[in-house]
Structure 1
Amino acid sequence: MSEHPLVQAYLADLDRALAGSDPREHQDTLEAVREHLEEALGESPSSDEVRAVLAGLGSVDAIAAGTTPVATVPTVTVLQPAPTPARPDPGSVVALVASVVALLSLVLSPFVAIPLALVALVVAVVRVRRPAGRTTLAWSAVVVSGTTLVLSGLLALLLLAAGDTTPEPGPVHSEPVAER
């Protein structure tokens, strides 16, 4: 019986289908199917008899589906330490603080605000152009100092346009008053 090629092929397929099952149940299932085939087929069965008995057993996938899968060992997850937060670039912080001070002092002291805004803008642009310097702080300093310079220009134009509207005293002319 076990010499028949159809039986050997069926048992090999069953062995492969049971590869993911519990090892003890794998062996027990193979032995049970072998015993059943030996009892059902006898010594020298015909190919038709073998096909009929194998069809009665069902597919190897159906048999393998009824077994217990291999117990998997739970995986251990190695926790990595949390990355340390990146420290802000000191140059970008200085540029941002200088640009905010320039913006706040624009109305009170434009002669201090404009040079301070220019210095902050230069430092911020240098920080932005560095490969590792493209930070929000550097860009914020560029925007605030640029805004300060634009506002100072608008304020200067406004003051020039308003000009001095007080009349200048001119020469005094007296005209004789005619008597009546």
Structure 2
Amino acid sequence: MPALKVSPAQRAELRTQAHALKPVVLIGAEGLTEAVLAEIKVHLNAHQLIKIRVFGDEREERAAIYARICDELNAGPIQQIGKLLVIWKPQPARPVPSTPANRAKATATKTGSGRRTALPSAREASSERSSPGEKSSRGAAPRLVKVVKQPDDPKRRPKAQTVVVRGNERVTAGGTIKRAKKRQTSAKRQHQSTK
């Protein structure tokens, strides 16, 4: 399969998203084996955008590995800086099956002079947070979350916005996205803790 074509604007956006990522696959002295390709495929399916570190000193060899990964997995080459490779493979959009719950969300009830949509149940609201192609399990990354923010002026309507929440992030009650804090280590020294 040929490598995926990515537009320059899309590549720039993906580069900014990949900046904070850590490498998830390391390619060592054995080079690009079938097991490494399978691991890269698993991570691409889980995260869509990944970084790969290649431990090799030959620049041409790293470029060949980069091209082979993109060709065999039908992924888009985003960026190569030294020994770091950034690769992206979008998830195909899956159609949403027609269920009674989905039809209930689409119906609207008329109240007073304006129209309002029926409020979804808790189960429907949790499935609404994730995109149609994703599972609605908690902690699955990345996922799309619909956030409604109240404006400062009470005369204005609240705005709904869809945001992407990655694995180490959470949405607060105010609708902002916060990263999970690193676990704090003990301030005690190791030799003082044992007596």
TM-score (norm 2): 0.22
| Bigger Rg over Cα | 1
Flag the structure with more relative contact order, 1 or 2, with Cα contacts below 8 A and sequence separation at least 6. Answer: 1
Query: Greater strand share, 1 or 2?
Result: 2
Query: Greater helix share, 1 or 2?
Result: 1
TM-score (norm 1): 0.23
